[in-house]
Amino acid sequence: MSERATMYCGAVVGLAVSSAVLLLMGFGVSGVLHAGNRVDLMYVLWPSSLMLVTGWRTTPTGILITVGSVMLNCAMYAALALALRFAIRLCARQLKRATR
């Protein structure tokens, strides 16, 4: 997979996660994203959701902050995908050298 395709896949995953969380927040059931007693998966899967304000979907400022937060999440997932691709390729090269 090329770097560009990896980056796009990461960005699409970031967009899907952000959309799912916003959808749950819109229906008022974002509390279902808890794992255990103290882990809120919303902040694990979408760390930049801490930026969201109360009027995240009603005020122009809130909408712009939400869009920025979604864009930041897509960039983070794309960077994570590229870092994973780099690490996997590096490990594969090391294994190939070790088997020679």
**Exposed, middle or buried: residue 21 (CB in 10 Å: 0-12, 13-18, 19+)?**
buried
CA angle 56, 69, 50 (to 5 degrees): 70
The residue written with tokens 């994570």 in the block is 80
List, in sequence order, the alpha helices (H) in 1-100: 3-27, 41-45, 60-98
Q: Which two structure tokens, joined as six digits, stand for 60?
A: 């122009």
Do 33 and 53 meet the contact criterion of CB atoms below 8 Å apart? no
- For the chain, 100 residues long, give each residue's pLDDT as a single digit of tens: 899 999 999 999 999 999 999 999 989 887 788 888 888 888 899 999 889 888 888 999 999 999 999 999 999 999 999 999 999 999 999 999 988 7
pTM of the predicted protein model = 0.86
